Structure 1
């Protein structure tokens, strides 16, 4: 089994549960561990896989809490860093249908420093890059770019998720698109929401997502998985496209659903004798996506991301 290195932010989600989508009216918040790459690392470890988190938290009680959560989930935190900056916070509102909105107060996540000794560990393994805060400049972006280059040169299997957050990129969407496309063009697997696929392709919400996939393939994307909520996931390999259906659930919080999906998918890929199988015209990859859809759906049935991640007993991963 290969190891998956998850690079990006680890932060506190202060979640306004059952208080609507307007944060200005929220009075009560629940502290949750969050950050998309950290969620992915936990999803993999919870299924019995090997994952390592690379990111920075503060030398404060919040940072200590976050690292303990990952450690309790059996994620390797030996490559995580502690910064003198305060731990990054996100304030999350949840609408009645489970959809979320975010407001960020950034701190330690941007302080991640590059460690050249890590690159040797990428060889033969998987590297997952979550970009919610990673492309906003500063030391984190410089380090993120270094690790991406290392993953390429060490021929690691690379997974990329843009994790677009409108609160972080208001008025600078074109910069976000340009930066993301350099990752999309060289990654083996990209995971997008429908909104992200259309955004990166330069299309509007009225355009079909299949058109967005065609544009992104022209930009160099190899395999695209576009999560469509309750409709499932669109898998695109150039001209070959198929929607893989999901299971029906009653969602209460969609936080972490996409992370559970890609975490479950990467876990299954890490167990393959060769990653070549996912590029071939065979049904195995679609079956893997179907199980990943189930992981994402089950995560929406509880509040919070990490504590809602399903274990292997719920996913029939050995079937």
Structure 2
């Protein structure tokens, strides 16, 4: 079993349940652990894989809580850092269809310092980059780029998820695109929502999006399409893989659960690079990842709703 290193933010999601999509209407919030890379790490570990989270929390009660949750979910947090800055917060309002409205209050996540001692651990393992806050400057972006270089030089299998948040990049989307491109060019697996694929490719149709992104360098592409399933694409083949029908309550973390399940499976085989040329194996993996993503939408909050191995693979 290969280790999967998940790099990026961990934070507190304050969720307003069933109070309409607009946060201005919300009055009551429930505390939940979150942050896309942390969600992915928990998804992998909950399925029985080996995951290691690299990010930064505050030395406050929220930071202690988040590290406790990660440990409880059997995520290795030995490379997580602590800062005097307050732990990053996100306020999320969810409507009846599970759709969300976000507001971020950034704190400790941007204080992550690069640690040169981690480099060798990447060797022939898997490194996942979730970019919700990683391209917003500060120490996190510097560490993120240096870890990316380390992953490339250590022959790691690299996964990239842009985790685009419109409210973080309003009127600045071109900068986001520019910063994503080196990761798309060099990553072996890229996971996009349709909105992200359209933004980064400049195309509208999902298949056309894949063509442009493959030309940029992406080898394996998945575009998650909610209840419709996932478009799986390589430079030679494409296939639409359906999801399962569930009663959706909250879509938070569904994409993270999907990519976590995919990375768990990649870490379970001898050489994840073999999947680049084995489309049939990728189809089987994405089918299971669709199940994981769908099941996550049946509960509130990302980490509390992540499925177990038995739920996905039985």
Q: Does 1:178 align with 2:175?
A: no
- How many Å apart are 1:239 and its aligned residue? 3.5
1:211 aligned residue: 208
2:196 and 2:269 mapped to 1: Cα distance? 28
- Tell me if 1:271 matches 2:268: yes
2:75 maps to 1:75 = yes
Q: Does residue 24 of structure 1 match 2:24?
A: yes
Helix, strand or coil at the partner of 2:149: helix
* Alignment partner, residue 295 of structure 1: 292
Normalization by structure 1: what TM-score?
0.97
Q: Which residue of 2 aligns with 1:36?
A: 36
Given the alignment of the two structures, is residue 125 of structure 1 paired with residue 122 of structure 2, yes or no?
no
> Quick check: 1:304 aligned with 2:285?
no
3-state DSSP class of the match of 1:250?
coil
Question: The residue matched to 1:135 in structure 2 has which SS?
Answer: coil
Q: Does structure 2 conserve the Cα–Cα contact (< 8 Å) formed by 1:249 and 1:298? A: yes
> Structure 2 CA distance, aligned partners of 1:274 and 1:23?
45
Residue 16 of structure 1 aligns to a residue in which SS? strand
Paired with 1:143 and 1:274, the residues of 2 have a C-alpha distance of 27
8 A contact 1:277–1:285 mirrored in 2: no
Alignment match, 1:244: 241
Tell me by how many angstroms 1:281 deviates.
Answer: 3.8
Alpha-carbon displacement from aligned partner over 1:236-269 (angstroms, at most 9, x marks no partner): 1024110111000111100000000000000000
State how far apart, in whole Å, the 2-side matches of 1:35 and 1:235 are. 25
Alignment of 1:88-99 (within 5 A): 88-99=88-99
Q: Are 1:226 and 2:226 an aligned pair?
A: no
Q: Deviation per CA, 1:264-299: give whole Å up to 9, x if none.
A: 000000011111331124411101100000000000
Alpha carbons of structure 1 residues 168 and 282: separation in structure 2 relative to 1, 3 Å: closer
Shift of 1:64: 0.4
Partners of 1:49 and 1:82 in 2: how far apart? 25
What CA deviation, in whole Å up to 9, does each residue of 1:287-314 have, x standing for no partner? 1100000000000000000010000011
Q: Helix, strand or coil for the counterpart of 1:313? A: helix
CA distance in 2, matches of 1:67, 1:276: 31
Match of 1:15 in 2: 15
Give, in whole Å, the separation in 1 of the partners of 2:93 and 2:289: 25
Contact persistence 1:226–1:234 (CA under 8 A): yes
- Tell me if structure 1 keeps the 8 A contact 2:33–2:303: yes
Write the distance in 2 (CA, Å) between the matches of 1:275 and 1:56: 28
| Aligned Cα root-mean-square deviation (Å) | 0.8
- Find the residue that maps to 2:101 and give its secondary structure: strand
TM-score of the pair, normalised by structure 2: 0.99
- The count of residues paired between Structure 1 and Structure 2 equals 314
Identify the residue that residue 192 of structure 1 maps to in structure 2: 192
| In structure 1, C-alpha distance between the alignment counterparts of 2:174 and 2:192, rounded to whole Å | 17
* Equivalent position SS for 2:186: coil
Structure 2 CA distance for aligned equivalents of residues 268 and 279 of structure 1? 14
C-alpha separation in 2, matches of 1:263 and 1:281: 20
Q: Describe the superposition over 1:116-157 as per-residue Cα deviations: whole angstroms up to 9, x where unpaired.
A: 000000001000000000000110000000000000000100
Unaligned segments of structure 1, at least 5 residues: none
